[in-house]
Structure 1
């Protein structure tokens, strides 16, 4: 038998304000240590260069992290136009330069229209995507570049928030995008469309799925509570397990129907909302208990998809 991991069996979602110069995995490890949690996972990596909203799932919440991975994201980014970098961001080496002094706000606005809506985007070499089992960034660090297939992404919103002209023009953008969108690739593609090159100088995630910047907590806010071992106070900062799933329709089940589902059986539920997935609750409207996620079958029955333990 494997050795049981030590810690608290805490469950919930922490909206962390990830600091700069720290990887998402490193930030998750620190958050898990602060909460002394047995199990934790993050929901969509942010580069060390980026800060902002990083939902951390503890305990049973990790069962639903995929629904946050699939969610839209909102970013604010500063793009420097007039320079290309090897990594597509400020950490890379300069590989090309151009004078952007003649660039105007109007010219940038005109180019941005090309990148709104459904577009195809080639992932950057400095990404965690794998080729033959190895992350692309490992190949990039060895000076290798491999062909990457363009992938469909959706840019729902792309706004020019500010423009500072100059030999290296600064373009501040607000980006609402689908999962799998690389802001570095977007910056490079915009720079290419302007004929001047571009790279990401700063990046902050403002929203991930339903979670917003206003909800995010920093390590500076959390650590004093950990130092006092005020775990009850820390736990009150966690959001409920189902807070990541509010976009999925909900149904309440009787205790009998819920028991059948827990046993792995598909059940008939009257007046089903549109599917294919459902949030499942046990009990009436007064204090329904979240059970997990169910799936509507072709015959109209509901089958368990992902349930909490001890239901």
Structure 2
């Protein structure tokens, strides 16, 4: 498919835009806004942020949308405010806080000690208000119908959890930094931290400060001055959202074959696992794997 062209007949390039999402808007609203602004044919995001959350939201343009499943493997970093002594039905500030326990006696040492139990590979129960399916239905739909869904616990990985700040008292708030893998619910960490401390807890302010190599400090804020031209100027190469994997270089003939979905023999021969193929100029052409029997590179995702 040829690249989509805007009203001026200029095709929008493939790439990634690091957006600093504002509070109150959904990830889809950001996608819709940028699709309308740029005239790009394919626009998507790599990892939903809840409406109340802010921070890094990678927006993928054109062929980069094919890389979303690989982007999810990158580690994410969050800064979260956890309110202690209260619980909510949604495990965040969307619902009315209900008193649970008195956090007045808690110290920063108590919080740091409890946080240590949330690192490594842990079993985590998703929030009742989540998109996880329970008996074939979305948990949040069941919860809205007055049921109390119990999403099955699943294994997630938390690479690090540390206390940044703590305001003690009857309305205690712990500001924490969490670095984690895909599928980790920060609302669940807030809820479970409160349970471990015996006082209850829910998630307040949440900012995603990092997504792989992308940081909130370098993210673009969308406002009334944002234009298609300014977005183009901030586009990053598609491969910025890829996890580390082996690379191969294709000559012109091999590139043509790969673009038609055909396997090619490349030297030096790549090892097992995911492989990314680049053209002679270093541009990303495709992602794939090695066929150990035929000793060839097999393309799976080809960028236009």
**Cα gap change, 1:86/1:225 in structure 2, threshold over 3 Å: closer, same or farther?**
closer
- Contiguous gaps of at least 5 residues in structure 1: none
**For 1:8-61, what per-residue CA distance to the aligned partner results, in whole angstroms no more than 9, with x for missing partners?**
642211111000011111121112222222221111111111000000101111
Tell me, in whole angstroms, the C-alpha distance in 1 between the residues paired with 2:252 and 2:232. 28
Tell me, in whole angstroms, the C-alpha distance in 2 between the residues paired with 1:181 and 1:205. 13
Give yes or no for contact 1:79–1:200 (8 Å, CA) kept in 2: yes
**Cα gap change, 1:292/1:245 in structure 2, threshold over 3 Å: closer, same or farther?**
same
> Is residue 60 of structure 2 the alignment partner of residue 57 of structure 1?
yes
Match of residue 173 from structure 1: 176
Match of residue 265 from structure 2: 268
Match of residue 224 from structure 1: 225
Give SS of 1:154's match: strand
**For 1:130-168, what per-residue CA distance to the aligned partner results, in whole angstroms no more than 9, with x for missing partners?**
345543222212221222211111110100011111012
Tell me, in whole angstroms, the C-alpha distance in 1 between the residues paired with 2:153 and 2:251. 48
**Cα gap change, 1:25/1:5 in structure 2, threshold over 3 Å: closer, same or farther?**
farther
Per-residue deviation, 1:93:
2.1
**Cα gap change, 1:88/1:225 in structure 2, threshold over 3 Å: closer, same or farther?**
closer
Tell me, in whole angstroms, the C-alpha distance in 2 between the residues paired with 1:215 and 1:125. 34
> Is residue 138 of structure 2 the alignment partner of residue 135 of structure 1?
yes
Give SS of 1:224's match: coil
Give yes or no for contact 2:5–2:40 (8 Å, CA) kept in 1: no
Tell me, in whole angstroms, the C-alpha distance in 2 between the residues paired with 1:94 and 1:262. 55
Match of residue 109 from structure 2: 106
Give yes or no for contact 1:88–1:200 (8 Å, CA) kept in 2: yes
Tell me, in whole angstroms, the C-alpha distance in 1 between the residues paired with 2:226 and 2:187. 36
Match of residue 77 from structure 1: 80
Relative to the length of structure 1, the TM-score reads 0.90
Per-residue deviation, 1:260:
2.5
Match of residue 123 from structure 1: 126
Per-residue deviation, 1:102:
0.7
Match of residue 298 from structure 1: 292
243-252 vs 100-109, greater mean Cα deviation:
243-252
Give the one of 239, 244, 262 matched to 2:241.
Answer: 244
Tell me, in whole angstroms, the C-alpha distance in 2 between the residues paired with 1:69 and 1:178. 8
Give yes or no for contact 1:18–1:218 (8 Å, CA) kept in 2: yes
Give SS of 2:159's match: strand
Relative to the length of structure 2, the TM-score reads 0.92
Alignment root-mean-square deviation, CA: 1.9
Give yes or no for contact 1:128–1:136 (8 Å, CA) kept in 2: yes
- Contiguous gaps of at least 5 residues in structure 2: none
Where in structure 1 do 4 or more consecutive aligned residues deviate above 6 Å? 4-8
